[in-house]
Structure 1
Amino acid sequence: MMPLHAFYDLDAPARGDATVTARYARGGDDPIDRFETFHEMLSWSALFRFRFEQMPQRCEGTLYREDSDLLSLLVPVLSSLGFTQPIATGRYCGLYERADAVLSCGGTPRENLENVRTFLLGGSNAGVLRRILGEVAKESSLEVEVNTWTPALR
């Protein structure tokens, strides 16, 4: 299998940058929007590689809320838990970190999925991750669904 290549969609400007799409180099399927800006793609990649992948416990899942901008509900809760944002992001990408945990969440631009964001959460242990997810669910009214734990919980 060949990896998808990243392309700049200059017809989709966003905050002084352009949407990053992915597709096969020789065409084929329609391009898939990956990030609203190139800056977000680079920052997400660095946070993923140098923080998330290094965490002893990780989980992946989705955040959902029918009628609201998810990140505007998420940011106050994460701030109260000691998370900071390494860069300013738009509506589709959120990057948050603190000493013992890192969270990234994202959605796909132009797919009309305003009420769903996937997330990656890594931390020092499962208890830390469960406390963070519990506070997000309780304090933000977001629905939190964890799809996978790595390593698997017993």
Structure 2
Amino acid sequence: MPDASRHPLIRFFAPDPRHEGVRPIQLWGLRLFYLLMLVFVAPTAWQVLLSHEGPWEPLRAMAWTVWATYPALALFGLFRPLRWLPLMFFTIGYKAIWLGFVAYPLWQADTLWGTPTGEVAAAFLAVPLLAAVVPWGYAWRTYFGWSRRNAGAPVTAQAMPG
């Protein structure tokens, strides 16, 4: 009888020791979202920046420059998805905060849908999918120096990533 753990589909969902226990499906999910950032966000942001005429309203300009920068950085995430996890933290964070502070009150007042704000909210509703592909155990171990093994132990300089 063949070993079930050798089946490619099972290996796709199983922790991979070559990637510090991160599942291949999570790595490919991260790559997919990095690619989607590049394909959908970068062109729009760069088009707005390159075609704008006249003086900018500072906050609007800041938003467009951020939207041009983070998907450009996503290119690196395609090749090194785990090293570029902070980009995913940023993406999840700003979208969740925006949904909570901007969209939620309008939704509560039943004035969100059918507006430009509603269109942005609809695009941001994929935040749970973004969060689902993040390997949170790896993230906690790597970026915050915490794991079940060292819970309660002091964090040392050696335990922090370089």
The reply to whether TM is greater than 0.5 is no
**RCO higher in structure (CA 8 A, sep ≥6):** 1
TM-score normalised by length of structure 1: 0.25
**Which structure shows the bigger proportion of residues in helix conformation?**
2
State the TM-score, normalizing by the size of structure 2: 0.24
Q: Which has the higher strand share?
A: 1
Q: Which has the larger radius of gyration?
A: 2
